[in-house]
Amino acid sequence: MKKQHTWRLLLSILLTMSIAGCKHDVPEPIVTDEPTDPTDPTGPGSGKCDPNVVYFQRDVLPVLVSNCAISGCHDATTRQDGVQLTDYASVMRTAEIEPGDPEDSELYERITEDDPEDRMPLAPRAPLSSAQIALIRKWIEQGAKDLTCTDNTACNTTNVTFSGTIKPIFSKYCTGCHSGAAPTGGINLTIYDHAAGVAKSGRLVGAVTHAAGFEPMPQGGAKLPACEINQIKAWVDAGAPNN
Ligand code: HEC
């Protein structure tokens, strides 16, 4: 009787140890920079964007709108597989995000999937860039919150170049649709000639300022921030140079 009891005790100790051992095997999420408390009066909302924080509205949503919330994919009408990636509430409701745990989040698994048949965006669309993937990972690690921030720092519209200013704007907001072999509307914004073409015809500024008579861009997304619009205008006004 006593012996059995000892055995049971030993077994339960071993079990506890192995469970504890398992827990330790789970890799801690890699948080490279400590996020700031969003309610901090000196943090977001103070007019300064914390460089260590990923802001959903500013950083993540434009990438999802451009690459995923496309007609026929995950826009509000198609909702392929029930997944809608048009806004924060829909993303959290349908994309199986586990705040703090990117590896367990369906959205992150799909954008990092090796198999091109399962990877999102689906081939022949290009995968997200490693910078975009890292951004989404960090957003989930930081709790997948709905943070916004508006920077009061001055907008630089004087040293605007195609390579340094305009292309990064396009790749964040536009090239999910406007790139590849069959770009939307025949406009491939990764190619200078296409960009210059829509710039010189007035269609680029018309589209991003949501002027009457143009298709409002980015399609399905919010208007670009004023700074980006002003930078695009500055580049167009300068003759849309290939600099
Ligand atoms: C979700 C997909 C999507 C995104 C993101 C998107 N576009 Fe478009 N774009 C479209 C569609 C669809 C059209 C209409 C094509 C047509 O009807 O021929 C279009 C048309 C345009 C046109 C022609 C507009 C006109 O009225 O002649 C321009 C210029 C343009 N887009 C620029 C942009 C820019 C710049 C961005 C990023 C700031 C952007 N697009 C983001 C899908 C998108």
| Tens-digit pLDDT profile for residues 159-211 | 999 999 999 999 999 999 999 988 999 999 999 999 999 999 999 999 999 99
Residues 138, 143, 146, 147, CA torsion sign:
negative
Closest Cα to atom 36 of ligand 1: 174
Instruction: Give the C-alpha separation, 79 to 75, whole Å.
Output: 6
pLDDT band at 37; cut points 50, 70, 90 = low
Instruction: Measure Cα distances from 50 to 35, 136, 162, 173 in Å.
Output: 8, 16, 27, 21
Q: Whose CA is nearest to atom 29 of ligand 1?
A: 204
* C-beta of residue 94 within 8 angstroms of C-beta of residue 82: yes
d(CA 208, CA 228): 9
CB-based pocket (< 6 A), ligand 1: 65-66, 70, 173-174, 176-178, 184-185, 187, 198, 203-204, 207-208, 214-215, 217-220, 224
Q: Which two tokens stand for residue 182?
A: 């069959």
Take residue 225 and report the two structure tokens written for it. 């921030």
Residues 6+ apart with CB under 8 A from 42: 48
- pLDDT on residue 46: 52
Are 199 and 235 a contacting pair, CB within 8 Å?
A: yes
Pick the atom of ligand 1 nearest to 215's CA: 26
The number of the ligand 1 atom at minimal distance from the alpha carbon of 198 is 29
What's the CA-to-centroid distance between 82 and ligand 1, angstroms? 25
Residue 14 binned pLDDT confidence (cut-offs 50, 70, 90): very low
- Going from the C-alpha of 208 to that of each of 127, 159, 189, 237, the distances in angstroms are 25, 20, 13, 15
Angle of CA points 5, 11, 16, to nearest 5°: 130
